[in-house]
Amino acid sequence: MEYLHHLGKYELGKELGEGATSVVREAVHTESGKKYAMKIFKALSKKSCFDNEVEALLAVDHPNVVRVHEVFEDAERGRLEDRVDPCPPSHRPGRFSREMSTPSRSSEKVGKSLRKSSFDDDKDDPPTLSETATTENESESSGDSVPSLLSCQEGEFQATSTTSVEAKEELFAVPPRTPPQPKRTYTTCGTRAIVLPLSSNGDVLSYLLDGGAFEERVARTLFKRCLEAVQACHNAGILHRDVKPDNLLFTENFDVLLSDFGFSRRRPDDEENVKLYGDLGSRGYIAPEVGDGKGYDHRCDLWSLGVTLFVMMTGRPPYASESPRDYWFNLLLNRRYSRFWRVVELLHKHSFPDMFKDLINKMLCPEPAERITIEKALEHPWMREQLLSQNDLASIMRNHSNN
């Protein structure tokens, strides 16, 4: 894409991150001098990604969801674009990025396996019969023996045929408010972009990469706000479809904000039970029903939330890939939770709270109809335990990388 130096009344600065469809750059308003994050969509990216993100950002008004400041679109098409007033300081998000080309902090503890690439097969219509048959044939042909173990070396999962506990131990020694009414204004040039408030505190994954897993009270406090943010999206009819630590940004005071709605989809008001078929999301966080050809709904976000909570508490992903041939994923698909946790605790050399494990089991349930709802997750016994005040949370997070 063309390297821009100015866009509208913004002077563009350093690159903050890059994803499959966009680049995020620092932007300074030439009149006020305020700094923002500008998400500039690539010329070859699908316009639906831009439209979906703008629609979602304007539809959801919640203190834990990033808010749009201004929208730019090709004025040559003669379209009027939305612009909303700047959000208050309490809603300042951190670095806005779906996929960072390199981690913003060094990583020896979590590794590359946490930062997966997003992929986009944006077919939200039901598959044809020929496509379904092809998928089924591929599934049948992949029925090889499941790898009995995955080792984690330098943050990467690798298959191995070892099955003994001793060998494992050696390998593993390591409701929404009405959003503000946008003003109507023309934009300039042929570039599609979204202007968002800027924060210097980065995303949740950066802190996991630098300081390792969060302590239980920190994970619970952050996760409660994540649940409430996704709940607000669902109440507004928005499916996020890309919930992960990369997309949870820290404000100036370390409140957490859900961001990156490029894969989101708004459910029509008259279609309560509509199903989607697009193969969208980030590897490592995608629910089993996504891409199986049978369709899925908002419950796919609950699976992604479960993976996110697991990563917060353990500092590692629960599995390497969404495949029955993946040892860990296979345990979850077959609901062999006792064995799953026995090996996880062997890896970490300590046990996790029973109520935490119970919540994870209910969120990582392979059957969407039996997966726990957000409302019940918020009422779960583990979620009702001690939470941190905002000041205590900020104090702990500032020192997290030094622990």
Known catalytic residue: 242? yes
Three-class SS state of 368? helix
φ, ψ at 120 (rounded to 5°): -140, 110
pLDDT tens digits, 169-181:
333 333 444 455 4
φ, ψ at 276 (rounded to 5°): -110, 155
Please provide the DSSP assignment of 5-18 as one string. SEETTEEEEEEEEE
Closest alpha carbon to 209 in 312, 283, 282, 309: 312
At residue 103, does pLDDT exceed 50? no
Whole-angstrom distance, CA of residue 311 vs CA of residue 219: 9
Read off the pTM. Answer: 0.74
Asked if residues 33 and 50 have their Cβ atoms less than 8 Å apart, the reply is no
pLDDT averaged over every residue in the chain: 77
Give 115's pLDDT tier (boundaries 50, 70, 90): low
What pLDDT score does 206 carry?
93
Whole-angstrom distance, CA of residue 208 vs CA of residue 137: 39
**What are the residues whose beta carbons fall under 8 Å from the beta carbon of 190, sequence distance 6 or more?**
74, 75, 76
What pLDDT score does 16 carry?
87
The more confident residue out of 94 and 243 is 243
Sign of CA dihedral 361, 300, 63, 398: positive
Asked if residues 83 and 9 have their Cβ atoms less than 8 Å apart, the reply is no
CA within 13 Å, CB half, 250: 19
Asked if residues 309 and 380 have their Cβ atoms less than 8 Å apart, the reply is no
What pLDDT score does 197 carry?
87
Partners of 37 in the β-ladder: 26, 196
What pLDDT score does 204 carry?
96
What pLDDT score does 78 carry?
30
Exposed, middle or buried: residue 321 (CB in 10 Å: 0-12, 13-18, 19+)?
A: middle
Give 186's pLDDT tier (boundaries 50, 70, 90): very low
φ, ψ at 304 (rounded to 5°): -60, -40
What tokens appear for 103 in the block?
Answer: 């981690």
pLDDT tens digits, 205-233:
999 999 999 999 999 999 999 999 999 99
**Can you tell me which residue has the tokens 């949370």?**
393
Q: Which long-range contacts (CB under 8 A, 24 or more apart) does 352-357 make?
A: 352/313, 352/314, 353/216, 353/382, 355/380, 355/381, 355/382, 355/385, 356/216, 356/313, 356/382
Closest alpha carbon to 197 in 67, 25, 99: 67
Whole-angstrom distance, CA of residue 92 vs CA of residue 197: 6
Whole-angstrom distance, CA of residue 270 vs CA of residue 302: 23
Domain boundaries, the chain: 6-112+119-125+171-176+192-402
Give 44's pLDDT tier (boundaries 50, 70, 90): low
| Catalytic residue selected from 120, 203, 210, 242 | 242
Counting DSSP H helices and E strands in the chain, the numbers are: 11, 16
Whole-angstrom distance, CA of residue 104 vs CA of residue 220: 24
Please give the CATH number for the structural domain made up of 6-112+119-125+171-176+192-402: 1.10.510.10
CA 147 from chain centre, in angstroms, equals 28
Q: What angle do CA 123, 295, 150 make, to 5 degrees?
A: 95
Share of the chain above pLDDT 90, in %: 54
What pLDDT score does 114 carry?
58
Please provide the DSSP assignment of 119-169 as one string. EEE---SPPPHHHHHHHHHHHHHT-PPPPSEEEEETTEEEEE----HHHHH
The mean-pLDDT minimum among 111-125, 158-172, 309-323 falls in 158-172
What pLDDT score does 269 carry?
64
What pLDDT score does 199 carry?
77
